[in-house]
Amino acid sequence: MIKKFKRFVFYLFLGSSLYLLVLKFVNPPITITQLTNAFGLGLQRDYIAWEDMSYNIKLAAIASEDQSFTDHSGFDWDAMEKSLHPKKKKKKSKIPLGGGASTITQQTAKNVFLWQGGSWDKYIRKIPEFYFTFLIEWVWGKKRILEVYLNVIETGPGCFGVEAAAQHYFHKPAKNLTRAEAAMIVAGFPNPKKFTAVPLTKRVAWRYLQILHEMNNLEGDDDIGELLKRK
């Protein structure tokens, strides 16, 4: 019995590692989250290349979800420590970041290889999430991680990826998104089924303005500028 279990773990490890390597060059055929949505809200999805994503949507995602994206190796340990030991505040922060302690790399690992789940199983997911987060940082690199993230992230009711969101909300390709439109799409990431750009929900209406402010602040960052490189 123990030998069978060890063999199962070995093949699972081997298979997942090979799949991860393939995804460095090929987009994920389907994710668990996409599959579960397909039977309810449907599945609107169009994978696009890095070059077909506007500079604005890339910058908006980093500004909202993970401003240390180019600096960390997959995990923002400072943010994680703060989330475990929050300090009392006299008032709420004016610019709350959407990603919290979860980096874009971690979100990508969860979206591509795992499932969303609920509070009851979040600790079960942490071990494989750590494993996949470490590997995609090592194998894929920052550019590929952000490209896959923007292709698989849930962006609206039944919509996955920024191309589907751009077409659904603004009837244009993602490469033509303005700064405001990109910020509106990203502002709904915490719960894209509930927080929508069209009709403009209350949460998105105030959040996208904060994201625009953060986008302006980040444009002076050399590492982010090098990663995104305007043409």
Note the pLDDT tens digit of each residue in 155-168.
Answer: 998 999 999 999 99
pTM over 0.85: yes
Question: Which is higher by pLDDT, 22 or 87?
Answer: 22
| 42 found inside a domain | no
| Range with lowest mean pLDDT among 38-47, 133-142, 144-153, 216-225 | 38-47
Query: Per the domain annotation, does 215 fall within a domain?
Result: yes
C-alpha 215/C-alpha 63 separation (Å) is 6
Residue 29 lies in a domain: no
> 148 or 230: which carries more pLDDT confidence?
148
Helix (H) or strand (E) holding 190: none
Three-state SS sequence of 96-142: CCCCCCCCHHHHHHHHHHCCCCCHHHHHHHHHHHHHHHHHHHHHCCH
Query: Does residue 163 lie in a domain region?
Result: yes
Question: Is residue 208, in this structure, part of any structural domain at all?
Answer: yes
Per-chain mean pLDDT for the chain? 86
Instruction: State the average pLDDT over residues 168-194.
Output: 96
Domain that holds residue 126: 48-82+98-228
| Structure tokens belonging to residue 140 | 């894929």
Which one-letter amino acid corresponds to residue 44?
Answer: Q
Any domain includes 189: yes
